[in-house]
């Protein structure tokens, strides 16, 4: 728990510093710099890999019309600046063909920058399920946290963290489908335990037939039930037509009954068995 507390204090100090920078912003915009977009680069530790083009276009139009209402936060770098918070606003501003952007400068270490990028996105629910899972995993790996310790740090339930991390077991097609919004995290959590071929089959079904999470649950349940069937069970599910054979057996005085692909003959004594064999071997 010591690691969690230490991590929490570091992040708390960093978040407070950024909040203070916003709070100290005066109406005259004193303390807010106008920086060239060409001098700013994204945070290399940004966990968010996918930015929805339609959403960025909408934000870009808003910035064109009303301007950028909330500055981004950056730190000075050797050849310019690195974004700490506000990459989506940065991208939308570039899309709007702006030359400069309002920014607040703060002084933080690379480790703090990395932590803030992860925590900010997690706490603001801005990540898709795959990026969120990778952000959780990175925090766990870097700080050697348990799921319970991470839960206390990012204020998410341990169950939510564990279930989200399971999404990293998805195949490439599953990950891509989530990133592109073609399936939901709910769909993914159901199919994650299947093999890649089964995952691909269900993903195609979800997209092609617009299946709900409940529909997919039923399909996976049926698939698992089918996998558990023994060869005997599968054989018993076949329905064969024994009518002609049963008719011939009846002429020989033999009783018979059928069950799926099986025909059972009742013999009263050894004489009936001998007579049957004689007819069979002819």
Task: Give catalytic residue positions.
Answer: 87
β-pair partners for 103: 33, 72
Q: Which two tokens stand for residue 25?
A: 């912003």
The interaxial angle of helices 129-143 and 147-154, nearest 10 deg, is: 110
Radius of gyration of the chain (CA): 32
Evaluated on CA atoms 129, 130, 135, 137, the torsion sign reads positive
- Which are the contacts of 260, defined by CB distance < 8 A and separation ≥ 6? 235, 236, 237, 238, 239, 240
**Cα–Cα distance measured from residue 200 to residue 15, given in angstroms and rounded to the nearest whole number:** 41
**Cα–Cα distance measured from residue 223 to residue 199, given in angstroms and rounded to the nearest whole number:** 11
* Planar angle of CA 184, 186, 190, nearest 5 degrees: 120
What is the secondary structure of 188-214 as a DSSP string? HHHHTTS-HHHHHHHHHHHHHHT--HH
3-class secondary-structure state, position 71: coil
């Amino acid at each position: 728990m010591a690691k969690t507390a230490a991590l929490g204090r570091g992040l708390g100090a960093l978040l407070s510093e950024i909040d203070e920078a916003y709070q100290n912003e005066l109406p005259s915009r004193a303390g807010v710099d106008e920086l060239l977009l060409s001098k700013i680069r994204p945070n290399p530790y940004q966990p968010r890999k996918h930015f929805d083009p339609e959403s960025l276009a909408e934000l870009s139009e808003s910035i064109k019309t009303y301007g950028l209402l909330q500055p981004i936060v950056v730190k000075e770098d050797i050849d310019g600046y690195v974004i700490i918070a506000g990459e989506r606003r940065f991208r939308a501003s570039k899309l709007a063909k702006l030359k400069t952007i309002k920014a607040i400068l703060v002084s933080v270490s690379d480790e703090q920058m990395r932590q803030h990028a992860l925590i900010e996105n997690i706490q603001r629910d801005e990540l898709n399920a795959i990026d969120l899972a990778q952000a959780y995993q990175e925090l766990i790996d870097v700080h050697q946290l348990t799921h319970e310790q991470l839960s206390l740090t990012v204020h998410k339930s341990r169950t939510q963290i564990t279930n989200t991390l399971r999404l990293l077991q998805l195949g490439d097609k599953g990950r891509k489908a989530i990133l592109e919004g073609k399936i939901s995290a709910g769909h993914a959590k159901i199919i994650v335990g299947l093999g890649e071929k089964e995952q691909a089959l269900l993903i195609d079904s979800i997209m092609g037939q617009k299946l709900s999470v409940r529909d997919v649950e039923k399909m996976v349940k049926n698939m698992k039930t089918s996998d558990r069937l023994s060869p005997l069970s599968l054989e018993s599910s076949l329905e064969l037509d024994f009518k002609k054979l049963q008719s011939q057996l009846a002429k020989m005085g033999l009783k018979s009954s059928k069950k799926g692909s099986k025909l059972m003959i009742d013999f009263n004594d050894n004489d009936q068995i001998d007579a049957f064999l004689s007819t069979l071997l002819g």
